Structure 1
Amino acid sequence: MDNNNLGLYLKALDSANSGIIITDNSLPDNPIIYCNKAFEKITGYSHKEIIGHNCRFLQMKDRNQPERAILKKHIEEGTESRVEIRNYKKNGDLFWNELYISPVKNENGKITNFIGVQNDITDRKKAEQDLREEKASVEKKVDERTRELQENEAFLSSIIQTVRESLLVLDPDFRVISVNSYFLKTFKVTEEETVGKVLYELGNHQWDIEALREMLIKILPTNNPVIDFEVDHDFPYIGRKLMLLNAYRIEFDGQYKDNILLAIEDITDKRDIDRRKDDFLSIASHELKTPLTTIKTLVQLLERRLDKGIDEKFKSTLHKVSVNIERLNNLINELLDTSKIHSGNIEINRQPFDINKLIHETVDNSLYNVSSSHRIEIKGKTNAIVEGDEIKISQVLNNIVSNAVKYSPGADKIEILLGNVGNFVKISVKDFGVGIDYDDKSKIFERFFRVKDVQQKFSGLGIGLYVSQEIIKMHGGTIWVESELGSGSVFSFTLPILKNEEK
């Protein structure tokens, strides 16, 4: 097929209303290697967030659907299938997917790919559900009673007053209808000075803030809330405050229709504490780096001057010292990287390099002494040339493999899987260890986050994966984990391909 025809076919697929994907059955876990624009629109994920994943990621935590078993059976048998399955968009919204899958075979009859076509049938499902709900008089009474409670002013006011966060209810003209005591206390005003007044006129116009006006004007025309909007302002009497604002349009019927709920969180002290913590990390890391470098040099000098007659126990002890110095050095480097990332000062030295060669060299040169009880197996290959920082990408692989070894003490191997998925190279590290709970997977890449169940069993600060995620982001890729408790974990990341070398 010539390039003109291929381009025409791809344009045709992109113009389709149905979501279309193609998976590569020859690669481990049958990953997605192509998706059209409709698939991105239906799921809410971008192209680079889709490529390399197995289709199951759309079910999120909803893994017990019988349709999954049906799909698995047909894929194993290499036959066509049609199911209606619950999927979830990137923002967590449920949508019903009418999914068709069909195998693609080569001239030898071997299945090389699967084509999936999906249609969002949420509206049809909702209509079916609405018909059932109309027949359920009890549910209707509950809905009516719930609406009455929501419209009850005393009920709403009690919620506002008990929240330890500044809350205001505004009418469509931004006039204050209700305010809680926490707001009055924080900004040193009275209820008489606040209720009934336009927000911008409060306290001699101290709330007439351009950023606040811009935020509120965007709310009423849409149903979208404003989340975590930062406002930095110098207030009379209380000084400069950094505030986090969240605004929601109230969609109740009746007297509260089109009102705005405005939540204000004072994060001045929190941000200052974070800044001081980052400063401490940076200073402490630099101060530790200098004596550690000296110690490392001296230990290396001792190792080079060891005579053949030296006691083996002394040699073993010196080797353990060297290994732990290197471990401490890596930890300090991660702390420095964390500080640089948070301050936006981390540097990426971009050069084209052979990713396949880098993976093998990292395993041979850096990971050979990670564990004497685990063997590291590399499966698959890629001839991809990637543009980026070799040292940083090697650091990512080191972090992931070291974690795989740490959290699989009862296993004896770690697998590294390589392959091309569309315009990306995909690297996966598979362990056979303790696994990760679903609720923790969304937090696993946060700075200093550690799973509670393993904190006592395994050492660490919870920064390696945070640093790894930021490095991969800077390279235009994505990183994610697939895991279940007791079934091990697969950490994967993708990097854009600069070009492919013919070998």
Structure 2
Amino acid sequence: MTMALDASISGIIITDNTQQDNPIIYCNKAFEKITGYSRKEIIGHNCRFLQAQDRNQEERAILGKSIAEGVECRVEIRNYKKNGDLFWNELYMSPVKNANGEVTHFIGVQNDVTSRKNAEHDLRQQKLVMENRIKERTKELRESEAFLSSIIETVREGLLVLDPNFNVLSANNHFLRTFKVSKEETVGRQLYDLGNHQWDIPKLRDLLVKILPTNNPVVDFEVEHDFPHIGKKLMLLNAYRVEFEGQFKDQILLAIEDITERREVEIRKDDFLSIASHELRTPLTTIKGYVQLLERAMPQDASEKFLSTFGKVSVYVERLNSLISELLDVSRIQSGNMELHMAQFDFDNMIAEAVDGMRTTVPGHQIILNGQTGAKVLADESHIAQVVSNLLSNAIKYAPDSEKIEVNIANVSDYVKVSVKDFGLGMSAEDRKKVFERFYRGVEIQKKFPGMGIGLYICDQIIKRHNGTLWVESEIGKGSIFSFTLPKAGKETNG
């Protein structure tokens, strides 16, 4: 059956209507190809993730009504691929019912009809815009040379303009200064011949010959090369094929940013982080030992003030210990030394223990655990428990006016899924994009809550190293839902 569905040229998904949020439990190869997402990034999500931020479409209401009533429907809806490209999705959705007439699943069949929609739009607009297009085109062609020259000289990175044969048509002053060459040595010559063939770089050839024609534009392509006269350079290349007609047809803009010093600074920062974390651990261990020694030698008639002060010291020592542990985790991740000790364990039991531990720590909060998987999962149990505890801690920390937190677990295909829902501040679209970056903290969060912005980064890296996916759904004032999927069979699962 799966082989037959995978042979279809139409994208096919199956969702489980018996589970909360109707998650996707199956997708065929065509669906992956159409959307640009891999199977592991799809399983467990609700179909709405394909609409990204474009949530006000009438078709969404039609779909919601059909799901609620358990009936089939057909819509044409705007969706977005993983790279952000818009595509029009012609979606046929049908319910699957059991013997009792209850809807257990939905099957969705989708086709990319972007070309047809674009053709329809073009036909409607052609008569209205043709005259203006001719005028604008004429003006563009007249101004393009001056405009292109202005861009070349004002961009604060090396910029080359190449013809289709990779001959240099122009080079800005930043390029000439950075790579210590003259305009006479550069303009009019083949790129690969520059500086006695210094630019004959295999990765650069791959970019221009293999990648650029099929993936326009090329963004943030890293190339490292040892130049004879200026030493080793790490460069960030961005390339764009300009598809003008006439004089400027098929020119290539190649932006070259020297990030050698920036990367060295990042490496020094990572080295400092690693050294500082290890150096702080030793004296902190000694301090903890003395605190424990003082606790055992506590006089029975100690004053209330003494006991209160001693308790605060213990709390802050533990807080500092947790902070250093997180910094050490970041250091191990950056250096590639985070070890995973894979073993099979009872997933439901691990979740229950993490929730019970958090309930003991914050008895004033109501943590509701829903669902069960009955799954044995092959993973690093301590690291996955660390992720769950961190998500629970954040849910409590960033929802100060709410005492309720919901944890949902479920099976989705050959993955387990965990969702932690709070009813707190929520976050903006910009924060959602960056929330898993190292040391990132939203502006409002910085104002109201202490922290360094590394907890979610660590969680994301742990889940990625298990070949799972961690994501967030959130709106300002409506709380957040952090979810992750984890392959049951271990990180080798490719699905």
Q: 2:22 aligns with which of 7, 25, 30?
A: 30
* 1:159 Cα offset (Å): 0.9
Per-residue deviation, 1:321: 3.0
Change (3 A) 1:302 1:82: farther
Comparing 39-48 and 209-218, the one that deviates more: 209-218
Aligned 8 A contact 2:407 2:419 in 1: yes
Q: SS at 1:448's partner residue?
A: coil
Paired AA for residue 75 in structure 2: V
**Alpha-carbon distance, 1:216 to partner:** 2.2
Against the structure 1 CA distance between its residues 18 and 143, is the aligned structure 2 distance closer, same or farther, given a 3 Å change threshold? farther
2: CA distance, partners of 1:261 / 1:456: 42
- In the superposition, relative to structure 1, how do residues 140 and 394 fare at CA in structure 2: closer, same or farther (>3 Å)? farther
Secondary structure in structure 2 of the residue aligned to 1:408:
coil
The answer as to whether partners of 2:222 and 2:236 remain within 8 angstroms in 1 is yes
Aligned partners of 2:103, 2:346: CA distance in 1, in Å? 30
- 1:60 maps to 52
Q: 1:412–1:156: structure 2 CA closer, same or farther, 3 Å change rule?
A: same
| Matched length | 489
CA deviations over 1:258-278 (Å, ceiling 9, x no partner): 222111111111011001000
| Displacement over 6 Å in runs of 4+ | none
TM-score scaled by structure 1?
0.92
Cα gap change, 1:246/1:358 in structure 2, threshold over 3 Å: closer, same or farther? same
Shift of 1:171: 1.2
Cα distance change on mapping 1:220 and 1:13 into 2, 3 Å = closer
Matches within 5 A, 1:296-445: 296-304=288-296, 306=298, 310-365=302-357, 367-368=358-359, 370-445=361-436
Relative to 1, partners in 2 of residues 1:422 and 1:131: Cα closer, same or farther, differing over 3 Å?
Answer: same
2:464 matched to which residue of 1? Answer: 473
- Match for residue 496 of structure 1? 487
Q: 1:318 is paired with a residue of what secondary structure?
A: helix
Q: Distance in 2 between matches of 1:143 and 1:267?
A: 42
The change in CA–CA distance for 1:220 and 1:489 in structure 2 (over 3 A counts) is closer
Distance in 2, Cα, partners of 1:408 & 1:73: 31
Task: Quote the RMSD (CA, aligned, Å).
Answer: 2.0
- The DSSP-based 3-state class of the residue aligned with 1:419 is strand
Q: In structure 2, what is the equivalent of residue 209 of structure 1?
A: 201
Provide the rounded CA distance (Å) in 1 between the counterparts of 2:317 and 2:134: 64
The alignment status of 1:160 with 2:152, answered yes or no, reads yes
Relative to structure 1, is the Cα distance of residues 375 and 313 closer, same or farther in structure 2, using a 3 angstrom cutoff? farther
Give how far 1:105 is off. Answer: 2.2
Extract unaligned runs of 5+ from structure 1: 1-8
With normalisation by structure 2, the TM-score equals 0.93
Measure the CA separation in 2 of the matches of 1:450 and 1:458: 10
Residue number in structure 2 paired with 1:98: 90
Q: What amino acid is the match of 2:276?
A: A
Matches within 5 A, 1:101-180: 101-137=93-129, 141-142=132-133, 144-145=135-136, 148-149=139-140, 152-180=144-172
Return 220-229 or 43-52, whichever deviates more.
220-229
Change (3 A) 1:370 1:224: farther
CA distance in 1, matches of 2:394, 2:39: 28
1:308 deviation in Å?
6.2
CA contact (8 A) 1:134 1:140 kept: no
Q: Deviations over 1:321-347 (max 9, x none)?
A: 333322222221111111111121111
- For residues 328 and 372 of structure 1, the distance between their equivalents in structure 2, rounded to whole angstroms, comes to 23
Q: C-alpha separation between the residues in 1 aligned to 2:228 and 2:248?
A: 32
Q: Which 5+ residue runs of structure 2 have no aligned equivalent? A: 491-495
Alignment partner of 2:270 out of 259, 266, 278: 278
SS at match of 1:347: coil
Give the direction of change, closer, same or farther, for the CA distance of 1:163–1:43 in structure 2 (3 Å limit).
same
Match of 2:475 in 1: 484
**Identity value in percent:** 64
Tell me, in whole angstroms, the C-alpha distance in 1 between the residues paired with 2:202 and 2:340: 36
**Aligned position for 1:250:** 242
Q: Secondary structure, in 3 states, of the residue corresponding to 2:186?
A: coil
| In structure 1, C-alpha distance between the alignment counterparts of 2:383 and 2:78, rounded to whole Å | 39
